[in-house]
Amino acid sequence: MEQIRNEMKMEFLALSSNEGFARVTVGAFVAELNPTVDELADIKTAVSEAVTNCIIHGYEQKGGSIWIQCSIEGQQVEISVVDTGKGIRDVEQAREPLFTTKPELERSGMGFAFMEAFMDEVEVVSELGKGTCVTMRKIIGKG
């Protein structure tokens, strides 16, 4: 069987109304791998979490740009969500379930926990004042 190789990049404003657009677009891109309904829901939820983090935490709802780079290699999908916002002071702590810096906004602190639960691998690279890049990988069709 021939290996699928594909790539796409998108850039959009950090507006909450773009959260749906981002996850649906990534979902459509991944469709050529014939994901199951659950796999597609996993990817869409993970993308939604990462994009919401950029908007609320990275840019603190003051706007900016978000980049998503997505590639398919064989059965693996790799999605990077990037912002040039304020960055994360302590990535380890940010990844802990229920940890949130914005309880006043009723954030549940489950964003990274969901990304980890729904994807196979999650890598976070962040620098204060420079921004954050979250890279997630998932193999489609493991059964």
Partner 1 sequence: MEHRFEREYGCLIVKMPKELDHHQAEVLKEEADSLILKYPVRSLVFDFSDTCFMDSSGIGVVIGRCKNVRFSGGYVKAVHLNQQIRRIFRLSGLQKIMEVEQEAE
101: left (phi over 0), alpha (psi -120 to 50) or beta: alpha
Stretch binding partner 1 (CB under 8 A), from 2-10, 19-27, 75-83, 128-136: 19-27
| Known catalytic residue at 18 | no
Helix (H, G, I), strand (E, B) or coil at 26: helix
User: Binding of partner 1 at residue 49 (CB under 8 A)?
Assistant: yes
Residue ranges in 119-138 that form contacts with partner 1 under rule CB under 8 A: none
Q: Which of 19, 23, 39, 53 is catalytic?
A: 53
Tell me if residue 95 is catalytic: no
Q: How far is the CB of 105 from partner 1 (least distance, A)?
A: 7
Token readout for 119 is: 């994807």
Set 49, 96, 104, 123: catalytic member:
49
The order of strands in the sheet holding 5-13 is: 5-13, 65-73, 76-83, 131-139, 121-127
Span near partner 1 by CB under 8 A; candidates 74-82, 86-94, 106-114, 122-130: 106-114
Which CB sits closer to partner 1, 23 or 86? 23
Residue tagged active-site, from 107, 116, 121, 123: 107
Cβ proximity to partner 1, 74 vs 91, nearer residue: 91
SS (H, E, C) 44-94: HHHHHHHHHHHHHHHCCCCCCEEEEEEEEECCEEEEEEEECCCCCCCHHHH
Q: Cα(80)–Cα(51) distance, rounded to whole angstroms?
A: 10
Are 109 and 98 in contact, with CB atoms under 8 Å apart?
yes
The residue ranges that bind partner 1 (CB under 8 A) are 16-17, 19-20, 23, 38, 41, 44-45, 48-49, 52, 55-56, 105-108, 110-111, 113-114, 117
Catalytic machinery residues: 49, 53, 107
